[in-house]
Amino acid sequence: MIGLLIFRDFQLMDASGPISVFEIARRQKQSVPRTGIFAIKAGAVRSSSGAEMYARSLRSANSLSTLIVAGGEGVELAAQCKATIAFIQRMAKRGVRIASVCTGAYLLAEAGLLNGRYATTHWSRTRDFIGRYPRVKLQADRIFARDGDVWTSAGVTAGIDLALAMVAEDHGDEISQGTARQLVLYHRRSGGQSQFSTLLELKTPNGRFGSLLSWMRENLDARLTVETLAERAGLSARHFVRSFVAETGSTPSRAVERLRVEAARERVQSSGEPIERVAQSTGFRDPERMRRAFIRAFGQPPQSLRRSARKPEKLSPAIPWLD
């Protein structure tokens, strides 16, 4: 069974999204496990929207193969619940695959499951999460992240991406793709994609480096070294690096690469411009250097992204279960 762990004021779609994925996948293949909803107390659990889900007690969660933890407004109180954290730890010790949606990552972090692991959560929680859990290798720009048997995903709808990836791993790409078509998901995003614009994530409304980040994006073909950026910001190199990381949650070099790879991706996917020229104009200079950056960011080289962008999506001609 696949368990969804919820709590008072959880985000409804954090639970309903993955549940829908596994439901549709099971209609295609009966070996896909059923889902169950669990909470600290059995009964109706109110979501932040006011809608309720009926949950079983944690004592009945004895046959789980996967546990997915929802996020939501109530995550702060849930993270302080010793019984809830102990339950997550107990499931992990049993070898259950553990996952979280959105801010559900806070519960996994409180349980100690993310220490030393790569993880992600909702982009708006980046700075707070890093401050609370410095031992977690947070990847703030990911749709979902996997480190061993621990999976985490970004905000709300990213839980659907995570569930589709689990279906693909457990039951094959064909079942996962069929599920996506039935759910009318035109594109299935990969875990390597960014969950938002890099500039929007790095630039807070009143951030001290807002104008610098805009200038960086407009001058990607320049030599954007730490020294150059520090001079433009009017700070020493050491002070600049410390302040930039504290403000944006990213090192300057990582921010430069993310801005460049985002701009390069747009040009690779929307034009027939030679890869070498894209690499030169976006500051990568060397196509091989750009290729490695694409693989780090998207899990595939520029040529593959270009082919995917040009390949029309084939949707299922009919939805039999609605007939």
User: Model confidence over 65-88: pLDDT tens digits?
Assistant: 999 999 999 999 999 999 999 999
Residue 159 has pLDDT above 80, yes or no: yes
- Write b or e for each residue in 101-132: b if 16 or more Cβ atoms lie within 10 A of its Cβ, otherwise e: bbbbbbbbbbbebbeebbbbbbbebbeebbee
Are 9 and 67 within one domain?
Answer: yes
Residue 121: domain span? 2-182
How many Å apart are CA 215 and CA 263, to the nearest integer?
14
Instruction: Check whether residue 156 and residue 239 sit in a common domain.
Output: no
Residue in 189, 193, 201, 105 with CA at minimum distance from that of residue 142: 193
59 and 128 belong to one structural domain? yes
Indicate whether 160 belongs to any domain: yes
Bigger pLDDT: 30 vs 217: 30
Spatial CA neighbour of 125 closest among 147, 92, 156, 163: 156
Q: What is the pLDDT of residue 87?
A: 96
Predicted local confidence at residue 305, as pLDDT: 76
In a domain, 132, yes or no: yes
b/e code 287-304 from CB counts within 10 Å (16+ = b) = beebbebbeebbeebbee
Other C-beta atoms closer than 10 Å to the C-beta of 270 total 10
Same domain, 166 and 208: no
What mean pLDDT comes out for the span 20-33?
A: 94
pLDDT reported for residue 211: 82
pLDDT tens column, 41-54: 999 999 999 999 99
pLDDT value at position 307? 77
pTM of the model: 0.66
| CATH number (domain holding residue 84) | 3.40.50.880
Q: What is the pLDDT of residues 231-288, one digit of tens each?
A: 999 999 999 999 988 877 788 998 899 889 888 988 887 788 899 999 999 999 999 9
Give the count of domains, the chain: 2
Let me know: does 170 contact 32? Beta carbons within 8 Å: yes
| Residue 174 sits in the same domain as residue 43 | yes
Long-range pairs, 82-88, Cβ under 8 A, ≥24:
83/40, 83/58, 84/5, 84/7, 84/40, 84/58, 85/110, 85/111, 87/5, 87/40, 87/58, 87/61, 88/5, 88/113
Task: Dig out the tokens for 250 from the structure.
Answer: 């990213």
Query: Beta partners for 52?
Result: 46
CB 302 within 8 A of CB 290: yes
Q: Distance between CA atoms of 292 and 190, rounded to whole angstroms?
A: 17
Same domain? 165 vs 208: no
pLDDT averaged over the chain? 86
Measured between alpha carbons, how far is residue 47 from residues 5, 6, 98, 117, 271 in Å?
A: 12, 9, 22, 29, 44
- In the chain, the largest separation of any two C-alpha atoms, in whole Å, equals 67
Task: Decide if 188 is inside a domain.
Answer: no
Residue 187 belongs to some domain of the structure: no
Which CATH number is 211's domain given? 1.10.10.60
